[in-house]
Amino acid sequence: MVSFEELGLSNTKEMFEVALERKFAIPGYNASNLEQLQGIIIGCGDSNSPVIIQITQTSLKYANKTMIRYMGEGCVKMSKDLGYDIPIALHLDHGSSFESCKACIDIGFSSVMFDGSHLEYQKNVMITKRVANYAHQRNVNVEAELGIIGREDKGKEVEIQQYTDPEQVEDFVNRTGCDSLAIAIGTSHGAYKFKVERAEDIPELRFDILQEIRKRLGKFPIVLHGASSVPKKYVDIVNNYGGSLKKSFGVPETQLRKATQHGVCKINVATDSRILFTAMIRKYFKEHVDHFDPRLYLGTARQELIEMIIRKNKEVLGSSGQAKYIS
Ligand code: 13P
Ligand code: ZN
């Protein structure tokens, strides 16, 4: 059992307070390997941005729980070694049970999400509350989800989207004691977010629902999942170098910026990093057929990720330079 404070991590409380006040979003960047973690630390360190490193249950299984605990600590130490002074939170993304949230808290995560969005309302309330009770005794923050953020994979709806009902949010937050709320306003997970032929046809997110929720919750932290932009640049590289990512569209950056002005203080990005890595590695393999040192192709992808993060923090989330406002 180790607490996040011992590992030098931060929880998300002050991050969200400052982000809401200053109208920007804290990046929630997902990682599942060493190079993505390094890219996130360097990208956010170079842009002086607070950061939430997100690990899913499948990534925990992939990388090993104990390994992740030390990698989380390693992120903090690496950040200090490089002379950065940024708050870093380690967050369980889409935890599916009380037990998985507890296991992460017990190995030093500073924030967990319990995702009960697929459950019946009362059950979602009950388990979220149980997670919040356990987490709060250890100063850990809890993100919950209401409504369903969908996921489509190659034309098939794996999870069916359901907009958050603004009428439920106050009751849910009051009864669960959660610290932030993920809402469904039209974003979805993965590379296939919109059923359109052209980027120009991407519909607006439901800002009316966001505003209604904001009206009811006041200055309460709202989280936007499924917020990758799926940059055409990387989709094209994948497709030009032997891959097939047809009709992949993400959330336009203008809409993400707008969301930060309306109470969204955390924006989750996983798919962009995955596509970027795939693009850079495909290209590298094609251009260097005789290379076989993983550091070469993974290093190229890592450098590209750093640049993407610096740009995103500055131009989309507005989190660049904000670390100094958080103690
Ligand atoms: P994307 O698939 O849009 O990157 O969503 C990430 C996310 O919501 C992680 O929880
Ligand atoms: Zn998500």
Query: pLDDT tens-digit profile of 219-269?
Result: 999 999 999 999 999 999 999 999 999 999 999 999 999 999 999 999 999
Q: Which of 81, 85, 93, 236 is catalytic?
A: 93
Can you tell me which atom of ligand 1 is nearest the CA of 270?
A: 4
Distance of CA 276 to the CA centre of its chain: 16
Ligand 1 centroid from CA 151, angstroms: 9
Can you tell me which atom of ligand 1 is nearest the CA of 269?
A: 4
Ligand 1 centroid from CA 243, angstroms: 21
**Ligand having the closest approach to the CA of 274:** 1
Residues in the chain: 327
**Ligand having the closest approach to the CA of 192:** 1
CATH code linked to domain 4-325: 3.20.20.70
Mutate to test the pocket of ligand 1, among 202, 228, 317 (most ligand atoms within 8 A of CB): 228
What angle do the packed helices 294-312 and 271-287 form, to 10 degrees? 140
Residue-level pLDDT at 151: 84
Residue 188 phi, psi (nearest 5): -150, 165
**Ligand having the closest approach to the CA of 91:** 1
**Positions in the chain short of pLDDT 70:** 154-155
Instruction: Give catalytic status of residue 236 as yes or no.
Output: no
Which residues' Cβ are closer than 6 Å to ligand 1?
30, 93-94, 189-190, 225-228, 268-271
Q: What is the pTM of this model?
A: 0.98
What does the domain layout of the chain look like in residue ranges? Answer: 4-325
Nearest CA to ligand 1 atom 3: 226
Residue-level pLDDT at 155: 65
- Amino acid residing at 126: M
Could you tell me the two tokens for 93?
């993304």
Ligand 1 centroid from CA 225, angstroms: 5
E strand or H helix that includes residue 212: helix 207-217
Can you tell me which atom of ligand 1 is nearest the CA of 56?
A: 10
Contacts for 302 with CB less than 8 Å, ≥ 6 apart: 35, 36, 38, 39
* Distance between CA atoms of residues 230 and 269, nearest Å: 10
Residue-level pLDDT at 150: 86
Ligand 1 centroid from CA 152, angstroms: 12
Can you tell me which atom of ligand 1 is nearest the CA of 94?
A: 10
Long-range contacts from 283-288, C-beta under 8 angstroms, 24+ separation: 283/237, 283/241, 285/241, 286/241, 286/242
Ligand 2 centroid from CA 213, angstroms: 19
Residue-level pLDDT at 165: 98
Mutate to test the pocket of ligand 1, among 189, 245, 253 (most ligand atoms within 8 A of CB): 189
